[in-house]
Amino acid sequence: MTTHHNWFFRDDADHKAASDSEALGGSGSASGLPVGGSSAGGPLVIFDLDGVISDASRRQHFLSGERKDFRGFFLAAVDDPPLAAGQALAASVSADHTVAILTARPFYVVDNTRNWLAVNDVRHDLLILRPQRGEGVHSASADFKRRELHRMWDAGYEVTVALDDDERIIDMYRSEGVFALYIHSGYYEH
């Protein structure tokens, strides 16, 4: 399989939280539940992170006004409380499906994001963020997520459903023939 430098599988040996769990007799999940999914294709469910699993409402002030502070917005994500409904949805996905979290967060928050997911025991098998450099770093979120969707298909994944809180992303998934569910976060009010 092609290596994607912005794809992080939960069972990566270098992920400290998973390693610590395994050292304590776990199976790669802080809850002790087996991690499902596959790094070699198969059925997959996509979850957005901010507004679907993570409550980013306390960070929205960084994006108001004429000068938006995206760096402050993303760095403050470590303090987000989880959204119980999003956690439950991710946990309810069948173990034979890969749970992918596809977020438009920048690469520089990968460690914070992985630690947040581990601390909050969010079921996921794959985390995809914007790449560190190259195509997708500064593109619109819908364009970035479309590119990653095609990379998932190229890797042999069958995307069964995608969940997002941005209607533009939902429209993109639907235009690609993916069944998509809109989760209202209130962040994108018109």
Q: Is residue 87 part of a domain?
A: yes
Q: What is the mean pLDDT of residues 21-29?
A: 34
- Structurally, the chain folds into a number of domains equal to 1
Q: Which domain holds residue 64?
A: 7-182
Q: Per-residue pLDDT for 43 more than 90?
A: yes
Q: Do residues 44 and 14 lie in contact, with contact meaning Cβ atoms separated by under 8 Å?
A: no
Taking only the tens place, the pLDDT of each residue in 96-149 is: 999 999 999 999 999 999 999 999 999 999 999 998 877 777 889 999 999 999
Residue 31: predicted pLDDT:
30
Q: Is residue 188 part of a domain?
A: no
Residue 188: predicted pLDDT:
64
**Side-chain-side CA neighbours of residue 70 (13 Å):** 7
Residue 184: predicted pLDDT:
87
Which CATH number does the domain housing residue 175 bear? 3.40.50.1000
Q: Is residue 190 part of a domain?
A: no
Residue 186: predicted pLDDT:
67
Q: Is residue 53 part of a domain?
A: yes
> Which residue spans within the chain are E strands per DSSP?
7-9, 42-47, 98-102, 126-128, 157-164, 180-182
